[in-house]
Amino acid sequence: MINRARLIGIGGQTTAEMPINSSERKAVKMRTYEEKEVVLTRMERLPLSVTCNKCGKTAGLQGEDYEREWGANEFQRFSLHFGYGSRYDMESWGFDLCEDCLTELIRTFKHVPDGFGQDCHRAKYPQIMFEKWKETGIVDLEAGMTPEEIAEDGGSIYVDIEEDE
């Protein structure tokens, strides 16, 4: 079966009328592909050592990649960027603190940092929990709660659930 199609050229004028048969109506695949598994190699920067800016403690990181990552995780990297209006306008700072120095610093805080002491459990009274931690070093997510409040929450999270026998 023969169809006629108009080919529209630049400027919209009809340049030709040409016959198109049905096999030509299918789009021609200009590129065809096969799937093949390839292995990519990428370069990673692994920590060799970390030094605390405050106390100068250095951890040399050795061993497997995960051991080095764990060692590096005992330090926290801080990145600060100062904008207009700051006394450090346009400066960018970076420093590392070991967890001992970080703990010492956080103990000087008046207000509890967001997320402090909380993992899958959340403190009902974060500020009371924080004050208790500053005194004792113990995170008690139930700090400030009455026995009734703990019972309403389904019991203490610090009681081991006894298995039925």
Q: Which spans of this chain sit near Zn ion (rule: CB under 5 A)? A: 52, 54-55, 57, 98, 101
- Min dist CB 83 to Zn ion, Å, is 28
- Min dist CB 94 to Zn ion, Å, is 15
- Min dist CB 66 to Zn ion, Å, is 23
- Measured from the CB atom, the residue of 50 and 101 that comes closer to Zn ion is 101
- Min dist CB 149 to Zn ion, Å, is 38
Report the alpha-carbon distance of residue 45 to residue 152 in Å, rounded. Answer: 49
Report the alpha-carbon distance of residue 64 to residue 73 in Å, rounded. Answer: 14
- Measured from the CB atom, the residue of 55 and 151 that comes closer to Zn ion is 55
Residues 6+ apart with CB under 8 A from 81: 91, 92
- Min dist CB 53 to Zn ion, Å, is 8
3-state SS, one letter per residue, for 98-161: EHHHHHHHHHCCCCCCCCCCCCCCCCCCHHHHHHHHHHHCCCCCCCCCCHHHHHHCCCCCCCCC
To the nearest 10°, the Cα dihedral for 41, 43, 48, 52? -130
- Measured from the CB atom, the residue of 53 and 118 that comes closer to Zn ion is 53
- Measured from the CB atom, the residue of 15 and 73 that comes closer to Zn ion is 73
- Measured from the CB atom, the residue of 9 and 94 that comes closer to Zn ion is 94
